[in-house]
Structure 1
Amino acid sequence: MTFEQMRIFLEAAHFGSFTHAAERLGLTQSAVSVSIKKLEEKLDVPLFDRSGRRLMLTEAGQVLLNEAERILRDVELTMRRVEGRRPVSPSALVACTPSAYDFWMPHLLARDNGPGASGVDLVRGSVNEVAAYVMRGTADAGVTSAMPSHPQFRQVAVFADRLVLCAHPERAQHVPADLSWKSLAEQAPLLWEHGELTQTLTAALVSHHVEPERVAHPVLRLSSSTAVISALLGGHYIGFVADRAAQPWLMSGRLVRIGMLEIPVRYWLFGLREHDIDRFVALFGTRVE
């Protein structure tokens, strides 16, 4: 599969239309259709269900969509990495998981007196993507809430957060002020981020003898702290949210904290052992080895 075929497939998949994909790419509709057909013939599997008015991805098409997005994102990061080595504009790339990217790193880089901030660029990715970027050298360093265990990484604990239980004030009125881990299941279903922080949260629930499957919402499996907060503002649920993300809503009174249940979260800066990550450590002021 060529990069051109990949780009055409992605546009068709995103818009559900060969016509719209053609308009976006400056091609004819027939050129897009032929490209997709040749790709399907090469792979010997249909990528789109063409039976309805709108193109729908098949199971194989969904797999290709996920992989193609990842591949093109890697290519873009590699290009940024190479461009950053231009003598006239040296820069470094730090890959961050969503919570670090959304709620921590921009603030640190925007500080007027932030040491080490000059020439640092950020990119967002999942826990596994961040580790892969650093391992391949695409990123100079990574920041994630999951401590990397690979022996080639050196890691430094740089800041801490916590998951706190929150709800809309009206929903909070129906929750006991002394809510305990033991009685948490009585307030189910609960919301939380099903992504970066899932492992930390589920491990904490299990350690307190709470079965995550019993308290999780059966349908609303939200992938970001922002989405969880949006759902909590609806007033129907309670849920765990990173304190850093929840603070503006807690201060405004649109959300309130429930009880004293909390789960500590630590963030790690890491890089390959042969690389110097101390310039990035300086961004955080303090550190814990």
Structure 2
Amino acid sequence: MFTYKQLEALYWVVKLGTFSAAAQKLFTTQSAVTKRVQQLESIFDVPFFVREGRHKTLSAQGQEIFLIAEELLAHRERLSRDFKHRARTHKKLTLGVTEISAITWLPNLIDHLKNRYPEIHVDAVIGMSGELRQMLAAGKIDAAFMQARSMPNDFQEIPLRYLDLMWVGGKSLNPDHVYHAREIAEMPLIRQSNESALSAIYDAWLLPHKAASNIFTINNLIATASLCMSGIGISCIPQDYFMPMVGTRRLVRLQTSKAAPRILYSAYFRKQVDDDFHTHIAEIAARHCDFSNTMLGAE
């Protein structure tokens, strides 16, 4: 019967191209790798390599066995990873998210985590990206899903998805006019507090101009959209989530001379603290991250 060590030897020889490179990868000697591959050839009674000039290439039988070995090793890795994670799901997992994630894809993510890990206890904290950054640094949350920002080197970042924004206002605005940054800056701007990454994004987009009139609201996207509908001012809000309100003409989307801002959302967690587990959570989050919401299409 073959062993996983023998399969790993064949796999890395093929992947890396030489027995010496495979030996370095497996932290063993070249002779040990050669012996394992030869043992595997003996078990299956087929040569894995054929010589072509000065080089050796996989034989047809060797290619077939390599593909099976690759699949078996992948299954072993998946089995080991999943059961390792499930063994740790008695722990409490506290996630930090911004408002747009909380009202769109967070419920689906939590449902998936509970189905995947029945014993897991998930808590969610909703806040501005600046607040989440501070909580993550203080160890008050295990992972944060927020706008990409500069973090200390001891934190891992895994990109999730881009959030596209759009400039909107009330019905009195002309949807066919192309607005320049100067014109946008001259309108009353409805914005969130400085703890929100959106404020910095507005200012960067308007450069070299500055907003002439800032109307600060509560840190709530729905309230921001409602104030825009009333004609009090304009704002730049998540496109996919609020597009149904544009479709029903409750909001007017402003065409602009340069593309509206977009924000990269990423998962953050501290390195060397359950790295595999949190990386797996981030991978699941990336699959569920979706900033759209069809519920706003209804009157």
The answer to whether TM tops 0.5 is yes
Shift in Å, 1:165: 0.7
Q: Distance in 2 between matches of 1:180 and 1:91?
A: 49
Conserved? CA contact 1:193–1:221, under 8 Å: yes
Shift in Å, 1:221: 3.6
Aligned length: 194
Aligned AA (2:96) = A
- The TM-score, its normalising length taken from structure 2, stands at 0.55
Shift in Å, 1:166: 0.9
Match of 2:191 in 1: 192
Shift in Å, 1:151: 1.4
Q: Distance in 2 between matches of 1:162 and 1:112?
A: 26
Shift in Å, 1:107: 4.1
Question: Is there any run of 5+ residues in structure 1 with no aligned partner, and where?
Answer: 1-86
Match of 1:265 in 2: 263
Alignment of structure 1 residues 1-289 onto 2, 5 Å: 89-110=90-111, 119=120, 120-168=122-170, 170-173=171-174, 177-186=177-186, 188-194=187-193, 195-196=195-196, 197-206=198-207, 209-212=208-211, 214-217=212-215, 220-260=216-256, 261-275=259-273, 276=275, 277-283=278-284, 284-285=286-287
Q: Distance in 1 between matches of 2:154 and 2:184?
A: 40
Q: Distance in 1 between matches of 2:199 and 2:162?
A: 16
Structure 2 CA distance for partners of 1:130 and 1:239, relative to 1, 3 Å? closer
Deviations 1:177-225 (A, max 9, x none): 1112233234x1122333412122212222xx1213x2423xx444221
Shift in Å, 1:110: 4.4
Conserved? CA contact 2:182–2:206, under 8 Å: no
Aligned AA (2:190) = L
Deviations 1:57-94 (A, max 9, x none): xxxxxxxxxxxxxxxxxxxxxxxxxxxxxx89444111
Q: Distance in 2 between matches of 1:149 and 1:244?
A: 27
Conserved? CA contact 2:147–2:263, under 8 Å: yes
Aligned AA (2:159) = A
- The TM-score, its normalising length taken from structure 1, stands at 0.57
Alignment root-mean-square deviation, CA: 3.2
Q: Distance in 2 between matches of 1:114 and 1:171?
A: 48
Shift in Å, 1:247: 2.7
Q: Distance in 2 between matches of 1:96 and 1:178?
A: 34
Shift in Å, 1:164: 0.8
- The alignment partner of 2:244 has SS state of helix
Conserved? CA contact 2:185–2:206, under 8 Å: no
- The alignment partner of 1:200 has SS state of helix
Aligned AA (2:98) = T
Q: Distance in 2 between matches of 1:267 and 1:117?
A: 27
Conserved? CA contact 1:225–1:245, under 8 Å: no
Q: Distance in 2 between matches of 1:178 and 1:250?
A: 17
Conserved? CA contact 1:157–1:268, under 8 Å: yes
Structure 2 CA distance for partners of 1:125 and 1:237, relative to 1, 3 Å? closer
Question: Is there any run of 5+ residues in structure 2 with no aligned partner, and where?
Answer: 1-87, 290-299
